[in-house]
């Protein structure tokens, strides 16, 4: 049982460090992202991904968004973010979304030309869902006291991931 527990915590560590205190904030962010993505996909008639695939994509990119998007500069916290701050965050996960989509497609198709599996519509929906979840976090952090603490812990972990990516600006 101890070994199984250790394997579990090693598996979820990037999104659940600090003894699990980051899990609720990660769940809020990932949950919003998945729901927004599914709704957008239904609206445009491009619903080709399962709920589980969207959850896995969201959790993997929760870590890679910061490392690959660190070049874009510093985040404002959700408590401070206004409409334009949220809108500008749509650029940050571009590299992360492209690379994780390719990695997932390699697991389906094997190594291949990235343009063979690239879908511009899927790319745009992923970026929009990520940006909507940033806005959702800002609304929750500014208006719901209980959610603000969970989101603050998630943002703390996000900021530490960005510093660890070695792209942190001074």
33-63 pLDDT, tens per residue?
999 999 999 999 999 899 999 999 998 888 7
Structure confidence by residue, pLDDT tens digits, 22-32: 778 888 888 99
Return the ∠ at Cα 112 (arms to 38 and 72), rounded to 5°. Answer: 60
Q: Which residue has the higher pLDDT, 13 or 36?
A: 36
**Rounded distance, CA 20 to CA 108, Å?**
31
**Rounded distance, CA 120 to CA 58, Å?**
18
Q: Are 130 and 65 in contact (CB under 8 A)?
A: yes
Q: Is the whole-model pTM more than 0.85?
A: no
**Rounded distance, CA 65 to CA 51, Å?**
20
Residue 133 burial (C-beta neighbours within 10 Å; 0-12, 13-18, 19+): buried
Nearest Cα residue to 65 out of 85, 90, 82, 34: 90
User: What are the residue boundaries of the structural domains of the chain, listed by start?
Assistant: 24-164
* Per-residue confidence (pLDDT) for residue 75, from 0 to 100: 74
Nearest Cα residue to 37 out of 129, 133, 120, 130: 129
Longest dimension (CA), the chain: 48
């Amino acid at each position: 049982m101890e070994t199984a527990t250790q394997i579990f915590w090693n598996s979820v560590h990037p999104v659940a460090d600090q003894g699990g205190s980051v899990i609720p904030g990660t769940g809020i962010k990932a949950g919003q992202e998945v729901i927004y993505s599914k709704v957008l996909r239904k609206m445009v008639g491009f619903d080709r991904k399962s709920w589980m695939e969207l959850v896995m994509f969201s959790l993997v990119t929760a870590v890679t968004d910061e490392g690959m998007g660190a070049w874009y500069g510093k985040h404002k916290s959700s408590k401070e973010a206004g409409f334009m701050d949220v809108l500008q965050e749509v650029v940050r996960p571009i590299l992360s979304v492209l690379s994780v989509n390719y990695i997932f497609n390699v697991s389906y198709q094997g190594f291949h030309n990235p343009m063979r599996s690239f879908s511009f519509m899927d790319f745009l929906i992923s970026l929009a869902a990520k940006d909507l979840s940033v806005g959702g976090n800002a609304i929750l952090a500014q208006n719901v006291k209980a959610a603000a603490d969970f989101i603050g812990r998630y943002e703390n972990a996000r900021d530490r991931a960005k510093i660890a990516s070695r792209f942190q600006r001074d």
